[in-house]
Structure 1
Amino acid sequence: MDNKDVVPFTHAIDKKKFQLFEIDKCTDSYLHGIERDEFFEIIWFEHSDSHTDATPGQKYVYLIPPFRSLGISLENKKGFLIAFTREYLEEDDKEYALDVFKLFNLQGQYSLIQLDEVTNFNLEHVYKLLMFECYNTIGTYLAIKALLKVFLLHLIRLKQRAFLSQDINQKRVYQFCILLDKNYHKERKASFYSNQLQISEKRLNQILQEKMHKTITQLIHA
């Protein structure tokens, strides 16, 4: 084949801008390099120390933005570290960009998210594709960027479900208070209020204890 027939390869992955490690195989050059400050990091892990208080097999994700002033210890953790520079997040979709910013700053300088089984299952599939693309001799920046977006969207969806659940529970507390104000003189049974809200007494108790630190009975007879 003549040289003129060879199509030049484009969009190659720059390993200085995207890194993928198993936690116990992170290189010292990355962990202690000054360039690390410029990376966004996803630390996806479970605790490997059986003496921790964590539930065995429970998966978590740390999301750490660039130039953070804290260091997350990788001791007693097994899993993966994904690191990438800002250009992997550059998007015309401003709403997505804002969601990512919020995702990485839920607790101020970082975010810690507990994963449910469905989200973790989906992330495992996306990670396999990321790893394949990263170590493929003809892997592309565009594919990595697209897969990284899918990975982050799963985490965004998880947090949005959590916020939605909180909003619903706050609404239920408000509805309970309205019902109680109107009916407490004649309705003194917890079942009346749970039936009106179409949830079980147990669930209503859980919500009230979480939001108001009191049980249904305590509020009715206050």
Structure 2
Amino acid sequence: MKKTTEIPVHRLDDTDFYASHTDGINLGDFSISHRIDFFALIWFGSDEGLHYIDFNPYPVKKNTVYLLARNQVHALPGNRPQSRVIILSKTFFDSIEDDDLRFLFVPFNNEGITIPDEMEQPLAELFNFIILENSGSNEPRLLHYYLNALLLHLYRFSNNSLARSAYHDERLRKLFDLISTNYKTQKLVDFYADKIGLTAKRLNQIVKEKLDLSVSQLIYNYTLIEAKREISHSTKSMKEIAIELGFNGQSYFSRFFKKQTGLSPEQFRQENI
């Protein structure tokens, strides 16, 4: 994955919804790291090694589905595997009424969802209906019905019991939204607890119970992902990146990054050139 002066951004122009097989996607080079300006569902149809979400490797396996959130970084080195892809603009994504389904796209949980063998053909037919409508009348209400049905099946197939229990907690949904918006400037649990109407202790208890993480770890996850993006695909100095991410200085940022990754920011940049 070669380094560029700025990370490429793939955009969904002039439409809010697009469904296609692999050969119909022409948004840019998928083999190098790129940031997506949309939400994406990728259903792999063959076993082809690895792909990368926010610089972490995940297997490309037949009938495994990955759900990517806007602003995540993706890379698919080598030949494109067979796949079915659905791309949603932020406008279309925000119009999905079911909170549980929107929550499937949270960026801290990037594990794939496996489609059982007996459901491959029925869901392939559902995907074909989506493509048919998308290339024809393109009625948003019908696309919502079809997409909701597909996402509901994926929700059912998900075997991440911690994440599934979190889907039903409105406090956690609000926490994720707050962190994704404020993690650069607000590092303390008290800020988020106050916004949600809980004590910091109680909020930590809920997050630990539902996700086996602390609130601070969630904040660190968002911060670390953005740090990796900036270090790997920008010419900014480490000092500039540290300030943008809300650290008091480069030394604090360097200690944080090495503690989380085992590498200094400089080492990480060298490995991703």
What is residue 20 of structure 1 aligned with on the other side?
A: 19
C-alpha distance in structure 2 between counterparts of 1:153 and 1:49, whole Å: 27
In the TM superposition, what whole-angstrom CA distance separates every residue of 1:102-145 from its partner, at most 9, and x where no partner exists? 3223x726341222123323321211110110111x33111112
Q: For residues 50-89 of structure 1, what are the structure 2 equivalents within 5 Å?
A: 58-73=62-77, 75-89=79-93
Unaligned runs of 5+ in 1: 1-13, 51-56, 168-222
Matches within 5 A, 1:147-158: 147-158=146-157
2:134 is equivalent to residue 134 of structure 1 = yes
Structure 1 residue 91 displacement after superposition: 5.0
Q: 1:109 to 1:68 in 2, by over 3 A?
A: farther
The aligned counterpart of 1:117 is 117
Runs of 4+ in 1 over 6 A off after TM superposition: none
Residue 73 of structure 1, CA deviation: 4.3
Question: Pairwise mapping of residues 1-222 of structure 1 onto structure 2 (< 5 A)?
Answer: 16-29=15-28, 37-47=36-46, 49=48, 58-73=62-77, 75-91=79-95, 93=97, 96-97=98-99, 99-105=100-106, 108=108, 110-136=110-136, 138-159=137-158, 163=161
* Distance in structure 1 (CA, Å) of the matches to 2:43 and 2:116: 13
Structure-2 separation of matches of 1:68 and 1:115: 23
Would the alpha carbon gap of residues 125 and 74 (structure 1) be closer, same or farther in structure 2, given more than 3 Å must change? farther
- Give the letter aligned to residue 46 of structure 2: H
Q: Distance in 1 between matches of 2:94 and 2:40?
A: 16
Q: Distance in 2 between matches of 1:42 and 1:127?
A: 11
> Matches of 1:60 and 1:163 in 2, distance apart?
18
Contact 1:47 1:76 survives alignment (8 Å) = no
Q: 1:5 aligns to what?
A: none
**Residue 103 of structure 1 aligns to which amino acid in structure 2?**
L
Sequence identity (%): 19
CA contact (8 A) 2:30 2:76 kept: no
Alpha-carbon separation, structure 2, partners of 1:72 and 1:87? 26
Give CA-to-partner distance per residue, 1:43-66, whole Å, 9 cap, x none. Answer: 11122559xxxxxx8311111110
Alpha carbon RMSD of aligned pairs, Å? 3.6
Compute the TM-score of the two structures, normalised by the length of structure 1.
Answer: 0.51
Structure 2 unaligned blocks of 5 or more: 1-12, 50-60, 166-273
Q: Number of aligned residue pairs: give it.
A: 140
**CA 1:73/1:100 → structure 2, altered by over 3 Å: closer, same or farther?**
farther
Higher alpha-carbon Rg: 1
In 1, the alpha carbon distance for the partners of 2:152 and 2:43 equals: 15
Q: Is the 8 A contact 1:65 1:110 kept in 2?
A: no
SS in 2 for 1:150: helix
Q: Structure 1 residues 78, 141: CA separation in 2 closer, same or farther (over 3 Å shift)?
A: same
TM-score (norm 2): 0.42
Q: Which amino acid aligns with 2:119?
A: T
Q: What letter is aligned with 2:88?
A: F
